[in-house]
Amino acid sequence: MRWCPSSVLHLLRCVRLRSWPRRGRNRVPQCMSEIWAYIKLLVQSLYFNTLTDSDVVFDSIFEPVFWTVDYVTRWFGVVFVCLVVILTSSIVVIAYVVLLPLVLNTYSPAWIAWHVCYGHWNLVMIAFHYYKAAKTSPGFPPTVKNDTPFVSVCKKCIVPKPARTHHCGICNRCILKMDHHCPWLNNCVGHFNHRYFFSFCLFMTLGCVYCSISGRNLFLDAYNALETQYQTPAPPYTFKDKMINKSIIYMWVLTSTVGVALGALTIWHGVLISRGETSIERHTNGKETKRMAKRGKVYRNPFSYGRLNNWKIFLGVEKRSHWLTRVLLPSGHAPHGDGMTWDFLPIKKDLVPV
């Protein structure tokens, strides 16, 4: 351990003496004193001990930036949720008001039954999983003394952290098996709502792809109707016809864009689930793999039980019928385990015999 160099301390004293008035005159406001103390603490933390590295220096310098981002994200979470609800509702309204009458008038009974059944099933799955992902608590470690095993102590909460637990700066507390903080949910994605989040992303992607594929011909017709330059007088279009064409274009562009972006995110999370790790653990496991490789060893994720077992545990599949009742239908079943204790070291046999 070594203290801050004398030159830095001397610089801090000079700045303090020149910027602060003498006692007996106007005192510095309390908020300014706290900011000054905070900056002083940041500077001193850079030189406090021999364990200081580039990560510590980076975190200390950019701490105000991180705090600002967390603050903005925390307060704009409600705006993002409202945006999701408004955009999704607009697509649903267009589907009922514009597309459904066209389907009923042009498609065969078999295709009508397919579109009505699949569309409503997909809509129910999206609404259910989004609501559950946003309203379900991700899970928090206990703040009172208990016998739960832990691997470290949170430097911000000053409470024991079980395995796979991380601190969220936006929620300002530790989260069990934290994956990330999702501003579109205004909630953390953790142990108890991770399945809801992934299912929402999956079914929203399927819904967007469904709208994009089934509405492609309608989009081309609407686009040509608005953009085609006629040599002869253009056919008469009423205001209603123009609004219908613009609505179809808006729906196709929005669903296609969201389908590509959200589809990539869903595939990425599917890969992580297959590996038995979260977004945060992906980075830590990568660093640990490199560290072990330098020593000539191979790192194995202690929370991975094989691709199929990882999916069974994640989805809560305990028997064959659960693929239908818990995966393809809305289900509010709890995840496997309590999020505080984990079975280490992968085993060869199926954890959940199916």
Catalytically active residues, by annotation: 182
Distance of CA 301 to the CA centre of its chain: 22
- Measure the CA–CA gap between 337 and 176, rounded to whole angstroms: 11
Query: Across the strands, what pairs with 42?
Result: none
In sequence order, which residues have a C-beta less than 8 Å from that of residue 140 and are 6 or more positions away? 173, 174, 175, 176
DSSP letter assigned to residue 349: S
Query: How far from 310 is each of 58, 180, 305, 315, CA to CA, in Å?
Result: 35, 19, 6, 9
Q: Which helix or strand (DSSP H or E) is residue 330 part of?
A: none
Q: Which helix or strand (DSSP H or E) is residue 174 part of?
A: strand 173-175
Quickly list DSSP for 251-315: HHHHHHHHHHHHHHHHHHHHHHHHHT--HHHHHHHHHHHHHHHHTT-----TT---HHHHHHHHH
Indicate the residue type of 106. T
Residue 17 buriedness (CB in 10 A; 0-12 / 13-18 / 19+):
exposed
Query: How far from 85 is each of 78, 152, 173, CA to CA, in Å?
Result: 11, 39, 27
Locate 7 and state its tokens. Answer: 């030159």
Beta strands 160-161 and 152-153, pairing class: antiparallel
- Measure the CA–CA gap between 165 and 154, rounded to whole angstroms: 9
Quickly list DSSP for 47-62: TS-TT--HHHHHHHHT
Nearest to 347 by CA among 270, 280, 276: 276
Locate 72 and state its tokens. Answer: 């903005």
Distance of CA 313 to the CA centre of its chain: 20
